């Protein structure tokens, strides 16, 4: 069964159960409420009658006639009983029934139960009438069947209201669950598109709350997967190009020397070029192997607690000669008395990859700043060069992606792999004043 129907059935079932329990409770209490309300009305009508003839003796035919006229107006069944003389003064009910009631029930008790005559029951209200002559009681009665008819009528209306309410609730729940489930269904189609790698066919899903957050996560996952697939394709293309170029150079000189085309100094120059290209190939292959190990072998990392100041002293010791050779000034602003946990050698390689990249692109100066921000240690490397091309920013840390003066295009990919495995994040941006800024963030160790 589809989720939409499951939610509708569950909601409808819950609603029916609640309304059924409510209906049973109301139905069971309704008659008692009607009886109490009828007794109150009988009492109110009786008081009007009693107040009207309070000073009169009901033994008077005239007064009794006036009382009967009022009772006829109110459509009541009544009788009057004189307790002193033990006589029925007047009545609209047969004498035999009245005598059995008088013998059976207490006229001095105003809170009477239902009186019964044969198979019929009556709601009763007794009002004492005290006069100068005697103590009399006015008894007003309503058949219980009338109240049961009222109860049944009310229940029928209540049942109709419940049925209409359930129908409206079912339609409303169906509409709401459809609005809830429709985004999930579209999200499933989005996942199918990801499975088929149809990333360009994905569209935005209109949703709110947690479903919108899931949709955003799916889109981010799809974009990341698409970027990964594209980077893999680009990796093989770039790798083949980077390996093919030196191999063709080596092949050309080797064949030229073999065939005697290059002799003497030309042959020596060709051999030197071959050695340089072989070294370049070795560097590329070694970096590819290292990158593969960083991505797949967690046991190659040997994490330890490292003092930040001592670590960056080593970075500067390696970076200053490279900066001097390029005629670039390098400055360090470091943080005292803090430690981070990572593999020393590999993190040194990652930071040096970023620093040498900054030196290579700087015009005159590179700044390394280490500071604390929001309980995180931030490492920023800034140069004053031309900055990073906008189309390279999103894929700068992918393999074999490099700028004009780049080398193998693997240095930043290696740095990213090391930083992320060590629990940090790395990103790059262009500074508003010019140049590029590489930022590494680590959560600060608690002492």
Is the pLDDT reported for residue 221 higher than 70?
yes
Top-level CATH class of 3-151? alpha beta
**80 close to 62: Cβ distance less than 8 angstroms:** no
What token pair was written down for 40? 């109150």
- 228-267 pLDDT, tens per residue? 777 677 667 666 766 777 888 888 888 888 888 888 888 8
pLDDT band at 400 (very low <50, low <70, confident <90, very high): low
Instruction: Give span(s): CATH 1.10.287.130, the chain.
Output: 209-296
DSSP conformation class of 446: P
Give me the mean pLDDT over the 264-289 stretch. 83
Give the separation between CA 19 and CA 195, rounded to whole angstroms: 46
Alpha-carbon dihedral of residues 170, 172, 174, 175, nearest 10 degrees?
A: 170
Is the pLDDT reported for residue 317 higher than 70?
yes
Is the pLDDT reported for residue 442 higher than 70?
yes
Top-level CATH class of 209-296? mainly alpha
Q: Which of 46-55, 155-164, 339-348 has the lowest mean pLDDT?
A: 46-55
Q: How far is CA 131 from CA 53, 107, 140, 149, 386, in A?
A: 10, 16, 19, 38, 116
Give the separation between CA 262 and CA 254, rounded to whole angstroms: 9
Q: Which is higher by pLDDT, 350 or 402?
A: 350
Q: What angle do CA 371, 376, 382 make, to 5 degrees?
A: 45
So what's the pLDDT on residue 56?
56
Give the separation between CA 45 and CA 34, rounded to whole angstroms: 16
Right CATH for 301-443 from 3.40.50.720, 3.30.565.10, 3.40.50.2020, 1.10.1060.10 = 3.30.565.10
So what's the pLDDT on residue 367?
92
pLDDT band at 67 (very low <50, low <70, confident <90, very high): low
- 70-90 pLDDT, tens per residue? 767 766 777 777 777 777 777
Q: How far is CA 130 from CA 40, 90, 262, 296, 321, in A?
A: 21, 17, 146, 105, 123
Give the separation between CA 125 and CA 111, rounded to whole angstroms: 8
pLDDT band at 382 (very low <50, low <70, confident <90, very high): very high
Q: Which is higher by pLDDT, 341 or 199?
A: 341
Considering the chain, what is the average pLDDT of its residues? 79
Which of 446, 239, 441, 226 is closest to 339 using CA atoms?
446
Which of 129, 134, 126, 128 is closest to 105 using CA atoms?
126
What token pair was written down for 305? 């607690």
**Looking up tokens 């209409």, which residue turns up?**
164
Is the pLDDT reported for residue 172 higher than 60?
yes
Q: Which is higher by pLDDT, 134 or 68?
A: 68
Percent above pLDDT 70 for the chain = 85
Instruction: Give span(s): CATH 3.30.565.10, the chain.
Output: 301-443
So what's the pLDDT on residue 381?
92
Q: What angle do CA 158, 160, 162 make, to 5 degrees?
A: 70
pLDDT band at 270 (very low <50, low <70, confident <90, very high): confident
Percent above pLDDT 90 for the chain = 6
pLDDT band at 439 (very low <50, low <70, confident <90, very high): very high
- 126-170 pLDDT, tens per residue? 877 765 555 777 788 888 877 777 778 888 888 888 888 888 888
So what's the pLDDT on residue 329?
92
What token pair was written down for 73? 């107006």
pLDDT band at 3 (very low <50, low <70, confident <90, very high): low
What token pair was written down for 292? 């593969």
**207 close to 215: Cβ distance less than 8 angstroms:** yes
Give me the mean pLDDT over the 22-35 stretch. 79
């Amino acid at each position: 069964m589809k989720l939409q129907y499951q939610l509708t059935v569950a909601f409808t079932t819950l609603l029916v159960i609640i309304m059924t329990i409510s209906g049973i409770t109301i139905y069971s209490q309704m008659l008692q409420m009607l009886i109490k309300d009828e007794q109150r009305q009988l009492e109110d009508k009786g008081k009007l009658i009693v107040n009207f003839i309070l000073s009169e003796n009901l033994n008077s035919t005239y007064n009794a006639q006036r009382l009967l006229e009022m009772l006829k107006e109110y459509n009541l069944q009544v009788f009057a009983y004189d307790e002193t003389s033990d006589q029925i003064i007047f009545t609209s009910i047969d004498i035999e029934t009245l005598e059995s009631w008088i013998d059976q029930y207490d006229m001095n008790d105003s809170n009477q139960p239902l009186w019964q005559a044969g198979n019929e029951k009556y709601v009763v209200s007794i009002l004492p009438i005290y006069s100068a002559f005697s103590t009399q009681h006015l008894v007003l009665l309503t058949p219980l069947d009338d109240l049961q008819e009222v109860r049944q009528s009310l229940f029928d209306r209540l049942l109709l209201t419940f049925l209409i309410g359930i129908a409206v609730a079912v339609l409303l729940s169906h509409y709401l669950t459809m609005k809830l489930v429709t985004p999930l269904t579209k999200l499933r189609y989005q996942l199918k598109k990801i499975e088929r790698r149809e990333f360009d066919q994905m569209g935005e899903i209109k949703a709110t709350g947690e479903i919108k957050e899931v949709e955003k996560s799916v889109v981010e996952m799809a974009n990341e997967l698409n970027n990964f697939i594209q980077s893999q394709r680009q990796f093989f293309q770039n790798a083949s190009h980077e390996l093919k170029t030196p191999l063709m150079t080596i092949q050309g000189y080797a064949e030229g020397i073999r065939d005697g085309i290059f002799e003497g100094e030309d042959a020596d120059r060709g051999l030197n070029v071959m050695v340089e290209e072989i070294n370049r190939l070795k560097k590329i292959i070694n970096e590819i192997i290292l990158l593969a190990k960083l991505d797949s072998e967690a046991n190659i990392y040997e994490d330890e607690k490292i003092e930040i100041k001592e670590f960056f002293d080593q970075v500067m010791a390696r970076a200053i000669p490279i900066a001097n050779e390029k005629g670039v000034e390098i400055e360090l602003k470091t943080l005292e008395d803090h430690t981070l946990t990572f593999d020393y050698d590999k993190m040194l390689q990652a930071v040096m990859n970023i620093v040498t990249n900054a030196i290579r692109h700087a015009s005159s100066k590179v700044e390394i700043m280490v500071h604390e921000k929001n309980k995180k240690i931030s490492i920023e490397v800034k140069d004053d060069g031309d900055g990073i091309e906008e189309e390279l920013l999103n894929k700068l840390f992918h393999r074999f992606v490099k700028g004009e003066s780049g080398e193998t295009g693997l240095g930043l990919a290696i740095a990213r792999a090391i930083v992320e495995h060590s629990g940090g994040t790395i990103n790059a941006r262009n500074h508003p004043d010019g140049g590029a800024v590489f930022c590494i963030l680590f959560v600060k160790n608690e002492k």
